[in-house]
Chains A and B, each alone.
Chain A
Amino acid sequence: MIAFKLAIRNLFGAGLRTFLNVLILSISYVVIILLNGFYQGWGEQARTDSVKWAYGQGQLWHASYDPYDAFTLTDAHGAIPESLNDAVNEGSVAPILLAPATVYPEGRIKSILLKGISINQKAIALPSDLMIATGDEIPAMMGTRMAKSMNAQLGDFILVRWRDANGTFDAVEIRIAAIFNTPMPPVDAGQIWIPLKSMQEMLRLDGEATMIISGDESIINADLSDWKFQTLPALLSDINELIEMKKVGGSIMYLILLALALLAVFDTQILSIFRRQKEIGTIIAMGMTRKQVIAIFTVEGAMHAILAIFLGALYGIPLLVSMRKNGFAMPEYADDFGVPIADTIFPAFSLALILGTILLVTITTTIVSYIPARKISKMNPNDAIRGKIQ
């Protein structure tokens, strides 16, 4: 108790130096919470968006399908299992057939992935029901990224060349019936969507698909003859890993900041002890025990962290609240991160994050305060009073 009282007196007595230490510690709090909240929010959004736009509640992959190997596509297809017929008709699962193709935007040659998807599907958010033919052309849709890279407009006709199941080249004109905006590059960049029926006819693969997305885990949840089931957590693991990596990268920044803050506190403590050795000798002479002296200095250092909570709250809470409300606007190049990323990320600040940060900063501050304070216990009070210790 006395240590606490005296520590407060010393801290307020030290004025500006205390304020600067508290300020830098409070910045550490806010930055750690902000950055972690950002990654947390990003992760949550990326997972939600991935489920909504691409993964559904799990996917059935044809046994030969390997998303990392485009050459497998020619073999990676099979008849949609009959047991799923009802679900396909209802739209609660989305069969998708994939094939490499070539387009010729503005005279250039561009390799793309052609994706056929059932138009009535409701398993993912792709607006496949917008692919409506006006004549006998094939209606297509693409994301804004793809449209931009091809300089394509709604209603444009595009020539597509592909090879059918027999290896024969064929070509057809498709019309862009819809352009959709998605935070998910994996369903946008480098691909064009057309109705599954048209795709099956083009490839001569009637009733076949490469993968089937389940809109509900009660419909598909296990392997099915030639088909391998990919659970949602397995599908999400890549995203989780990527965000985890970004997070580690980001934490280097705040670890440096925290280290700076701790160094400032440590420096203050060391300085205090040498500058104030006379004072320390005097209070020992007045009957304070060494333990009490260590306690005063440790509490004094740790109090920086406590005061920083209040100062940090003063500007941090309004900042975090406004971030939470308005989000971070992400720059366009953020797409290159390789992780689904929305235009705006809304950070998520959990109580655990805030308490964890406070605990981390307070404990580390206490430790760096204790180490120099312990030196006092080795001081001869007589030498200390004379200010002789170097």
Chain B
Amino acid sequence: MNNKTIITINNLAKRFPIGGGEFTALKNINLKFEAGEFAGLVGPSGSGKTTMLNIIGSLDNPSDGDVTLLGTSIKKINPKRASSLRKHHIGFIFQTYNLMPVYTVYENVEFPLLLLKKSAAERRKAVLDALEWVGLMDKIKSKPKQLSGGESQRVAIARAMVKRPELVLADEPTANLDKENSYHILDTMVKLNKELNTTFLFATHDDKVIKYLNRIIRLEDGKVVADDIIKK
């Protein structure tokens, strides 16, 4: 595949203040991602996977170095531009689903499209498509508290993908899914990846996900220890 670079990470470091001192969560990271990659950050708990996704998604600032996302420097970006970038180009899947409790499944998935001011008809079609992908057509009117962990995770995935973003940042998207659902979701993601050239960047230690990745970046203690392209 001959693709443009969508993420460039240069000498990235992230330190968190704790107590009196600092904790280094990421250091000396240099990576490049091209559009259409299906890549994963893999590593033990605490290795810095979520931290890196957050910085790439402009939810957090680098302490050193920079990330260039779709041509925009995350270090210099202003909050308004960051909002717009996230709104138009990024879909987040959080480790803890973060669904809106008072909204139904349908309304949760519809939310990103409301932000994009899509027409009612467009929204309806896109929401139903997304719910179809994750196999939740029968739960449209349910509220999050009526869903199982796996179902909540699928709603979160549908919400991230409904606007067909260029980049999906997925933090442990299969943590609460059984085998069958995991494969179903992953197949859907691969399909979107193929059809729309959507870039997927995972943070995971789930073997089922790892099997699907075509690039595995291993993190340990905030450092990249391996970066392998998998030929399929």
Contact = CB atoms under 8 A, between A and B. Distances in A.
Interface of A: 2, 5-6, 9-10, 12-14, 278-279, 281-290, 380-382, 385
Given A5-B114, A6-B114, A381-B59, A286 B103 contact: no
B83 A288 contact: yes
Contacts of A14: 102
Contacts of B84: 287
B114 A284 contact: no
A285 B79 contact: no
Contact of A283 (B88, B90, B111): B111
B92 interface: yes
A19 B119 CA distance: 31
B175 interface: no
Contact of A2 (B86, B92, B101, B114): B114
Given A6-B114, A288-B115, A282 B98 contact: yes
B98 A385 contact: yes
Nearest to A384: B59
B96 interface: yes
Interface string B52-64: 0010010110000
6 contacts: A10-B102, A279-B101, A281-B98, A282-B94, A285-B57, A289-B83
A6 B60 CA distance: 26
A5 B114 CA distance: 10
Contacts of A385: 59, 94, 98
B107 interface: yes
Contact of B87 (A9, A282, A286, A381): A286
Contacts of B57: 285
B148 to A, nearest CB: 19
Interface string B24-50: 000000000000000000000000000
Interface string B67-82: 0000000000001100
Contacts of A278: 96, 98
Contacts of A289: 79-80, 83
Contacts of B86: 285-287
Given A13-B102, A285-B57, A290 B87 contact: no
B57 to A, nearest CB: 7
A382 B54 contact: yes
A281 B117 CA distance: 20
Please classify the interface of chain A as helix (H, G, I), strand (E, B), loop, or mixed, using the class held by over half of its residues: helix
Nearest to A380: B60
B26 to A, nearest CB: 13
Nearest to A291: B80
B100 interface: yes
* Most chain A CB atoms below 10 A, which of B84, B88, B92: B92
B173 interface: no
A2 B94 CA distance: 24
A287 B115 CA distance: 7
Nearest to A383: B60
A13 B103 contact: yes
A279 B115 contact: no
B112 interface: yes
Nearest to A1: B117
Nearest to B79: A290
Closest A-B pairs by Cβ, 9 of them: A287-B87, A13-B102, A282-B98, A287-B86, A289-B83, A382-B60, A382-B59, A285-B92, A381-B59
Contacts of A287: 83-88, 90, 112, 115
Given A278-B96, A282-B98, A2 B115 contact: yes
Interface in B92-125: 92, 94, 96, 98, 100-103, 107, 111-112, 114-115, 117
Given A12-B102, A286-B92, 4 more contacts: A13-B102, A14-B102, A288-B83, A385-B59
Contacts of B60: 380, 382
A283 B111 CA distance: 9
B201 to A, nearest CB: 15
B83 A284 contact: yes
A32 to B, nearest CB: 31
Contacts of B102: 9-10, 12-14
A289 B83 CA distance: 6
Nearest to B116: A287
A236 B100 CA distance: 61
B83 A279 contact: no
A333 B196 CA distance: 83
Contacts of B103: 9, 13
* Most chain B CB atoms below 10 A, which of A9, A285, A287: A287
B92 to A, nearest CB: 5
B59 A279 contact: no
A285 to B, nearest CB: 5
B53 to A, nearest CB: 10
B102 to A, nearest CB: 2
A5 B86 CA distance: 21
Contacts of A281: 98
A236 B129 CA distance: 75
